[in-house]
Amino acid sequence: MRTERESVDTPGPFRQFFSLERDVLVLSLAMFAFSLGFQMTSRFLPDYLVYLGAGGFVVGLFATLGNVIGAVYPYYGGIVSDRVGSRYALTVFGFLSTFGFAIWLASAYVPAIDLGVVTVEPWAWVFVGLLLAQCWKSFGIGGHYAIVKQATDPSRLARGFASTETFRRTAFLIAPLIVAALVADELVPGFLWVLAIAIVFAVLGTIVQHLLYEAKADSVGEEFEGIGQIADDLRALPDPLRPLLVADAFVRFANGMVYAFFILVITQLLEIGLTLSTPVVGTIDLSPAAFFGVLLGVEMVVALVTMAPMAAVAERVGLKPVVGLGFFVYAIFPVLLIFGPQYVGNETWLLVALFAFSGLRFAGLPAHKALVVGPAERGAGGRVTGTYYLIRGAIVIPSGAIGGFLWEFATPELSFTIATIVGMLGVAYFAAFGQEFEAYR
């Protein structure tokens, strides 16, 4: 029978901030800084690519490159984290990400380069920047999971991840609102200022984590032994992770098909902005890109309100139901977004409601992370996490290109419908075969 635990309310992670384990506190600060940079830029990059001359299929290829990075980087990042320690690993990853943001900014000023056989368009440099900008986020997954596992009791892993996720998602709330203010009239030149701000926060986040993180707290694992170790790590993946991985791969494949196109639904298909009359400042007229920023802010408000309470719920009912809820929201959202505005008159407020609903998918993230890293042995949290994301990411790789192909050469409606079908298969599989982490039984 599960023992009674202290209750958790929504602002709990903030009130408890200075009582967190030092390493989790430092990680939370770094996550806040980098998440501001990522969220201010990544969700708007598809529209930036279109501005630089790319088409829908190129946007899909960009998403696929992101999937390749998501598959490869976490595994090797987890190995580096376990081998040299999270402090030094995350510092290097942080500086590489900063340089990636700088390349994105420079892309707007680089003309097309004619090489005779092929012309290098400005949008190609956004692909180059992605290879670096994703370093802290993707390479650093292993270090993130390992730090929280080292500093948290097994039965409270969801609560530990709720703390770091709350700070991360707070940045996700602030970031799109900053973008909305800067691109109120049109995407560029406001987005160039967004990229400059992202560079500043990436530098600050890297410095903070390097100076404040206590390297002596790192648990260092064994040295990487080559390609054969990848196969060994795959075979050694804890049993409870296998059904989770299968379901997660379905859900993430579905999301990968459409995720990069959410902004294009608002800015290209619906072309819906936001006009509000206020007694203080008068009429506020936002461009579709700025309205998308507001919608992301609404999504994050719901995420922040629900994340900590759902971590507490997981301690009472288990991790599986909470993770399953997140999977369901991931799966059903695409078809609601693409078809909902066609049948409801007030499209603006329907979109607000839909993105509020989408925020519920984040409620399951702390429980999902606890379910991933919980079964790992101490000192191997980074490697287990990296292995998990290597497999999931490898499966998801073609999703962006498939979604982009359907978007440009078939219809967006078909792409989003197929995505929901694939996602629901994952939800059903997890409901049937998903396992609970022992500490939460």
Cβ 281 vs Cβ 333: under 8 Å:
no
Residue 5 forms part of a structural domain: no
Residue 2 forms part of a structural domain: no
Residue 6 forms part of a structural domain: no
pLDDT of residue 196: 95
- pLDDT of residue 33 exceeding 70, the answer is yes
Per-residue pLDDT averaged across 25-34, rounded?
74
Percentage of the residues of the chain whose pLDDT score is greater than 70: 74
pLDDT of residue 370: 78
- pLDDT of residue 374 exceeding 80, the answer is no
Q: 197 vs 233, which has greater pLDDT?
A: 197
pLDDT band at 139 (very low <50, low <70, confident <90, very high): low
Q: 60 vs 13, which has greater pLDDT?
A: 60
Cβ 112 vs Cβ 45: under 8 Å:
no
Per-residue pLDDT averaged across 265-276, rounded?
89
- pLDDT of residue 11 exceeding 60, the answer is no
Residue 330 forms part of a structural domain: yes
**How many CA atoms lie within 13 Å of 273's alpha carbon, on the beta-carbon side?**
16
- pLDDT of residue 163 exceeding 80, the answer is no
Q: 441 vs 304, which has greater pLDDT?
A: 304
Q: 149 vs 218, which has greater pLDDT?
A: 149
What is the gyration radius of the CA atoms in the chain, in angstroms?
Answer: 21
pLDDT of residue 51: 93
Per-residue pLDDT averaged across 345-371, rounded?
87
C-alpha separations of 132 from 9, 71, 96 in Å: 37, 15, 5
- DSSP-based three-state secondary structure for 120: strand
Cβ 44 vs Cβ 263: under 8 Å:
yes
Which of 3-12, 152-161, 179-188 shows the highest mean pLDDT?
179-188
pTM of the model: 0.82
Residue 409 forms part of a structural domain: yes
CA distance 191 to 44: 8
Element (H, E) at 312: helix 288-317
Q: What is the pLDDT of residues 383-408, one digit of tens each?
A: 666 678 778 888 999 999 999 999 99
pLDDT of residue 39: 84
The domain that holds 131 is classified in CATH as: 1.20.1250.20
- pLDDT of residue 306 exceeding 80, the answer is yes
Query: Mean pLDDT lowest for which of 71-85, 119-133, 248-262?
Result: 71-85
Burial status of residue 208 (CB atoms within 10 A of its CB: 0-12, 13-18, 19 or more): middle
- pLDDT of residue 253 exceeding 70, the answer is yes
Cβ 49 vs Cβ 228: under 8 Å:
no
Q: What is the pLDDT of residues 308-355, one digit of tens each?
A: 788 788 878 888 888 999 999 999 999 999 999 887 767 888 999 999
- pLDDT of residue 224 exceeding 50, the answer is no
pLDDT band at 57 (very low <50, low <70, confident <90, very high): very high
Q: 28 vs 103, which has greater pLDDT?
A: 103
Residue 7 forms part of a structural domain: no
Cβ 310 vs Cβ 322: under 8 Å:
yes
- DSSP-based three-state secondary structure for 140: coil
With a CB cutoff of 8 Å and minimum separation 6, the contacts of 106 are 125
pLDDT band at 265 (very low <50, low <70, confident <90, very high): very high
Domain extent, residue 416, equals: 12-440
pLDDT band at 213 (very low <50, low <70, confident <90, very high): low
What length does the chain have?
441
For the chain, the average pLDDT equals: 81
Nearest to 241 by CA among 399, 391, 72: 391
Nearest 5°: CA angle at 193, between 302 and 178?
20
pLDDT of residue 5: 40
Our count of domains for the chain comes to 1
CA distance 62 to 126: 9
pLDDT of residue 261: 97
pLDDT band at 148 (very low <50, low <70, confident <90, very high): low
Preceding peptide of 189 cis, ω within 30°: yes
